[in-house]
Amino acid sequence: MRPKESASAAVPAWVETKLVVNGKPQVLSCSPATTLLAALRNDLGLNGPKYGCGLGECGACTVLVDGIAARACVIPLAGVAGRSVTTLEGLADERGLHPVQQAFIDAQAAQCGYCLNGMLMMTVALLARTPQPTEQQVRQALSANLCRCGTHVEIIAAALRAAELTAGAAKDAA
């Protein structure tokens, strides 16, 4: 006589997930409960996205999924199977820093730095859909990212500077 199978026996211990992270194909074997944030930090060693609230509220864990800003702490790894994920580490290329990264340095938009990942990634997403945002559009786009140390003025200035830099880069490329 066979022993009864428990309900948990039906849930696989590990799931293989294929995705592209920062332009490189990845295959990760993780528990079905693994979040994208945990896989990025623990399995791939990408520490740009931070663990903040764990509820998708603060924005510290923001990444781009197929170019759209997303909260990695609440997305199951399996939810991004076959998709492209960009982290802070994936913004720079062989030519140097991404214009948004450079703008944040130029504006000295860091104090403690904990929110910066989210602020940078949200700015990249904003500029992709609105290349020349107004200050109000920047404030609106970044309003869901929490900054506890008070560098809001510099962060807004950095986002507006990033729009100038990306516009200049687009003109140079044309």
Closest of 68, 60, 170 to residue 113, by C-alpha: 60
> What does the alpha-carbon distance between residue 135 and residue 123 come to, in Å, rounded to a whole number?
12
pLDDT at 150: 79
Evaluated on CA atoms 35, 65, 47, 123, the torsion sign reads negative
The parts of the chain modelled with pLDDT lower than 50 are 1-3, 5
Torsion angle of C-alpha atoms 47, 50, 55, 58, degrees rounded to 10: -150
pLDDT at 106: 95
Evaluated on CA atoms 51, 92, 64, 139, the torsion sign reads positive
Distances (CA, A) of 166 to 72, 73, 85, 109: 26, 29, 21, 18
pLDDT at 56: 94
> What does the alpha-carbon distance between residue 44 and residue 64 come to, in Å, rounded to a whole number?
16
> What does the alpha-carbon distance between residue 111 and residue 89 come to, in Å, rounded to a whole number?
19
pLDDT at 113: 82
